[in-house]
């Protein structure tokens, strides 16, 4: 008898580790600190299976990037050991998560500035569980430039980094990357890549959002765009942003390139304000309900809620 494995529901970007490390709290116990958008109870209530947790170092302390990154990784391991989260590192872990009721977390580096002058640490970060890396945050580094800067694309060092990421099987994330760098990635990598937390520029003209030619490029490599819940990326009038805007961005991208290339990348715990109706992770369960009220099939909904990111994982990860 064939066993049908569930399609995972995945949010590919949250800044909970950063928020925890730089808050005054010293212990992460789910529900104790209501100002976190993410907790174990909220994840269960929101019917989410896998949360990708970003490793982000703020500009003010970038000289301590390795130390801060290691502290955030340590926090993730505490979440595993003390709260029972499954730390996802390989395809077998993904399969196990599909077959049980556990809750998964995965690590992603947000901005390769962490690796400047420390490229030899890439293998260590991989061994510790980092499975996705954004080439740049909204600033410059030795490898690429973020969206405020348009002078250069991916550097020669960046090309070598991309080749090494491909070799290790680490997913490349182009959110925050400037447009020159974005299309350099298209031409350099041999793998599908993602924009973990970006929206459509046509609907909201933030420089952090993607233009139609970028959406089409992600389709061409069978990548995924994760919809960001930041009100300033959802609506040109951020004060009016709501869950309906999330659906609007999903609709636009689906109509432009298809439902196989869109997912969720909330940016929870990295955003100060949230759209009405998506106050925290527990509200994620409302998105498939709204999609089902539209013209989306159950297959489309499964793809958008996590199946598309699973496809990229299966193609990029080596094991």
Which SS3 state, helix, strand or coil, does residue 134 take? strand
Residue 92 lies in a domain: yes
Any residues with CB less than 8 A from the CB of 242 and at least 6 apart, and which? 275, 276, 277, 278
Instruction: Give tens-digit pLDDT for 72-91.
Output: 999 999 999 999 999 999 99
Which SS3 state, helix, strand or coil, does residue 285 take? helix
pTM across the whole model:
0.94
Question: Smallest Cα–Cα separation from 229: which of 218, 245, 205?
Answer: 245
pLDDT over threshold 50, residue 25: no
**Secondary structure (DSSP) of 142-211:** SS-BBTT--S--S-HHHHHHHHHHHHHT-EEE-TTB-HHHHHHHHHH-SS--EETT--BTTTS--TTSBP
- Domain enclosing residue 220, as ranges: 10-316
Instruction: Give tens-digit pLDDT for 139-189.
Output: 999 999 999 898 899 999 999 999 999 999 999 999 999 999 999 999 999
> In the prediction, which pLDDT does 32 show?
44
Mean pLDDT along residues 104-128: 95
pLDDT over threshold 80, residue 315: yes
Give me the chain's average pLDDT, please: 94
Mean pLDDT along residues 209-217: 98
> In the prediction, which pLDDT does 306 show?
98
Give residue 6's pLDDT band: very low, low, confident or very high (50, 70, 90).
confident
pLDDT over threshold 80, residue 246: yes
CA distance linking residue 310 with residue 308, whole number of Å: 5
Give residue 5's pLDDT band: very low, low, confident or very high (50, 70, 90).
low
Helix (H) or strand (E) holding 300: helix 298-302
pLDDT over threshold 70, residue 133: yes
Residue 4 lies in a domain: no
Phi first, then psi, for residue 285 (nearest 5°) are: -65, -15
pLDDT over threshold 60, residue 26: no
**Which position has the higher pLDDT, 118 or 229?**
229
Mean pLDDT along residues 208-237: 98
Q: Name the token pair of 28.
A: 């992460």
Instruction: Give tens-digit pLDDT for 259-303.
Output: 999 999 999 999 999 999 999 999 999 999 999 999 899 999 999
> In the prediction, which pLDDT does 143 show?
97
Residue 17 lies in a domain: yes
Give residue 118's pLDDT band: very low, low, confident or very high (50, 70, 90).
confident
Question: Smallest Cα–Cα separation from 52: which of 109, 107, 129?
Answer: 107
Residue 144 lies in a domain: yes
Residue 288 lies in a domain: yes
Domain count, the chain: 1
Which CATH number is 59's domain given? Answer: 3.20.20.140
Residue 1 lies in a domain: no
- Lowest mean pLDDT across 58-67, 75-84, 190-199: 58-67
């Amino acid at each position: 008898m064939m066993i049908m494995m569930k399609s995972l529901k995945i949010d590919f970007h949250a800044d909970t580790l950063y928020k925890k490390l730089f808050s005054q709290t010293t212990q992460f116990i789910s529900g104790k600190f209501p100002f976190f958008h993410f907790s174990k109870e909220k994840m269960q209530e929101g019917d989410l299976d896998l949360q990708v947790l970003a490793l982000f170092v703020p500009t003010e302390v970038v000289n301590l990037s390795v130390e801060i990154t290691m502290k955030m990784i340590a926090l993730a391991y505490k979440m595993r050991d003390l709260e029972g989260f499954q730390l996802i590192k390989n395809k077998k872990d993904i399969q196990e998560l599909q077959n049980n009721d556990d809750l998964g977390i995965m690590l992603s580096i947000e901005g390769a500035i962490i690796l400047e002058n420390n490229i030899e640490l890439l293998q260590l970060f991989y061994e510790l569980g980092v499975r996705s890396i954004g080439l740049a945050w909204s600033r410059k580094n030795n490898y690429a430039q973020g969206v405020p800067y348009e002078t250069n694309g991916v550097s020669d060092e960046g090309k070598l980094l991309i080749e090494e990421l491909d070799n290790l099987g680490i997913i490349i994330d182009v959110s925050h990357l400037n447009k020159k760098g974005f299309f350099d990635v298209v031409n350099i990598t041999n793998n599908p890549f993602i924009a973990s937390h970006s929206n459509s520029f046509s609907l909201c003209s933030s420089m952090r959002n993607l233009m139609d030619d970028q959406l089409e490029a992600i389709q061409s490599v069978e990548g995924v765009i994760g919809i960001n819940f930041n009100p300033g990326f959802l609506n040109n009038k951020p004060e009016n942003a709501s869950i309906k805007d999330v659906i609007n961005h999903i609709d636009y991208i689906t109509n432009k390139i298809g439902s196989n290339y869109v997912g969720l990348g909330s940016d929870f715990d990295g955003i100060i304000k949230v759209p009405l109706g998506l106050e925290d992770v527990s509200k994620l369960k409302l998105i498939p309900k709204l999609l089902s009220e539209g013209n989306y099939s159950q297959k489309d909904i499964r793809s958008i809620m996590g199946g598309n990111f699973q496809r990229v994982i299966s193609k990029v990860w080596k094991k």
